[in-house]
Amino acid sequence: MQSSELYKVAIGPAQSGKIPPGSPYWTTFNGSFQNQELPSDLIAAELYDGKPITTWCNPQWRKTENYQCGQHLGLDFDTEDRQSSIPVLLKEPFIQKYAAIVYTTPSHTPDKPRARVLFLLDTPIFQPANYTLAAASLLWIFGTADRQCKDPVRFFYGGKPGACEMEWLGNTLPLALVKDLIQRYKTTGNAQRKRSHTTFTPGSADERTITDALSHIDPWSVDYDEWLSVLLALHHELGDGGLTLAEQWADGKPGEVERKWRGFGKYSGGSQVTVGTLFHLAQLHGWERKATG
C-alpha cells in the first residue's frame, strides 16, 4: 500500500548516531534541513535510513524565529521498559487510529526499549505557539512520554541505520481533533494542576510567595529549560524540603522530578538559578508580587 497525501516536513542528512553536545557540527546540522512535501511511506523510509525530521523553517535554519509550519507531532517513549516498546504502544487505541509511524530511536536496545510515535496532521499548524500547545496536549494524554517534545522546531532523529524497528501505520491525525484536545488540556488539565497545588501547606511567608508565583506558571506551557530552571530555583531556595512542592508543580512522570532533584545536589551550590529566576518567569506570566508579613 502506498500513501498519496503529501505532508510538509523538513528532512536532514542521515546520522549514524546522536550528535555529541558541543560538537562544531551542530552549526552545519541546524542549517541542513530541506523543506519537502512527502507521502507518509516515504517519510517512514527517510526515518528508517537514519534521517532526522523537523518542521518547516524559512529561511531553512532551525530556530523558532524561522518557524513556518508544522504538519507532524512526535512523542518519545523512553522509560526503557515495556511501556516504551513498540508492541505495547501499538495496543494503545489512539496510536492505532491516528499514528502514522512508530519506530525505535537510536538509543533503543532490546533490554532497554525506546520508541517514537509520529503523527502526521491533515492540515499544517502555522503558528509556533499553537504547535507547542498541540504537542503539550498530546503529552498530557500520554503521561509516560518525554515532556521535552513540544518545541516547535524540535528535531527527531531517525532510526539507527541497520538496526531500526518500524511499524508504518499510515494514519492521519485530524487537526480538528488536535484543537479539541487543546481545549480539553487547557480546561481539564489546568484544573487538575490547580487542585494539586492546594495540597501544599506553606510554612512561611517566603514559601507562600513562592507558591503564589508558581500558580501563575503552567508547567506545560513553558519550554524544557524554563521548566528545569524552576526546579533548580526551588532546590536552591528550599533545599530537600521543597521536593513535594516541586513535584506538585512540575506534573512530571512518576519519579522524574525526584531523579532530577537528587542530581541537583552535585552542583546546586554553584548554580546561578535562584528564586529570582522563578519570580521573573512568573511575572512574565502575569504574576504580581504581594507584600507578605
Site of grid cell 515495556: 82
> Domain locations in the chain?
7-185, 198-284
Q: What is the distance between the alpha carbons of residues 211 and 206, in angstroms, rounded to a whole number?
A: 9
Q: What is the distance between the alpha carbons of residues 94 and 173, in angstroms, rounded to a whole number?
A: 10
**Cα 225 to the center of its chain, rounded Å:** 11
Q: Is the pTM of this model over 0.75?
A: no
Q: What is the pLDDT along the chain (293 residues), one digit of tens a residue?
A: 555 799 999 999 999 888 988 899 999 999 999 999 999 999 999 999 999 999 999 998 999 999 999 999 999 998 888 889 999 999 999 999 999 999 999 999 999 999 999 999 999 999 999 999 999 888 878 866 777 677 899 999 999 998 999 999 999 999 999 999 888 887 765 554 444 443 444 444 478 889 889 999 988 877 777 788 888 888 888 887 888 888 889 887 777 788 778 777 544 444 457 788 888 888 888 888 775 54
Q: Do you find a cis peptide bond into 93, omega within 30 degrees of 0?
A: no
Q: What is the distance between the alpha carbons of residues 119 and 173, in angstroms, rounded to a whole number?
A: 6
